[in-house]
Amino acid sequence: GDQVEQSPSALSLHEGTGSALRCNFTTTMRAVQWFQQNSRGSLINLFYLASGTKENGRLKSTFNSKESYSTLHIRDAQLEDSGTYFCAAEAVGASSSFSKLVFGQGTSLSVVP
């Protein structure tokens, strides 16, 4: 079954507002990455977290391995933030020789004036 459950599937924000995206994991994960997929389809790296919280500009992400979730907070949303956001998690117990990411289903974010 799906190991990564991402919500919401779609989100509309007015410019200047904020919200949070969430990924729940059904198995223990040791790290998570967040990506923005823009209108051209490119995946832009936002965060890599093995634990704790990171912040970059208007974005902040938290990863709690024990409680099996990660969040991405967007504040003061801008039009260029529109796109699809994916979390991708790396499973504990996977060989340390390589990474195998399991992606969430994505959140389609529309920022409107």
Residues found near other proteins in the complex (CB under 8 A): 30-31, 33, 35, 40-43, 45, 48, 50, 86, 88, 90, 94-106
Residue 25 sits at φ, ψ, to 5 deg, of: -115, 135
Residue closer to other proteins (CB basis): 31 or 77: 31
Q: In angstroms, what is the minimal distance from the CB of 98 to other proteins?
A: 4
Q: In angstroms, what is the minimal distance from the CB of 65 to other proteins?
A: 12
Q: Is the dihedral of CA 81, 69, 101, 32 positive or negative?
A: positive
Residue closer to other proteins (CB basis): 14 or 40: 40
Decide: helix, strand or coil at residue 81. helix
Residue closer to other proteins (CB basis): 34 or 111: 34
The Cβ of residue 4 has, within 10 Å, a number of other Cβ atoms equal to 23
Angle at 68 between CA 84 and CA 21, to 5 degrees: 25
Residue closer to other proteins (CB basis): 4 or 13: 4
Q: In angstroms, what is the minimal distance from the CB of 23 to other proteins?
A: 12
Cα 80 to Cα 76: distance, rounded to the nearest angstrom:
11
Q: What letter does residue 42 receive in the DSSP assignment?
A: P
Q: In angstroms, what is the minimal distance from the CB of 87 to other proteins?
A: 10
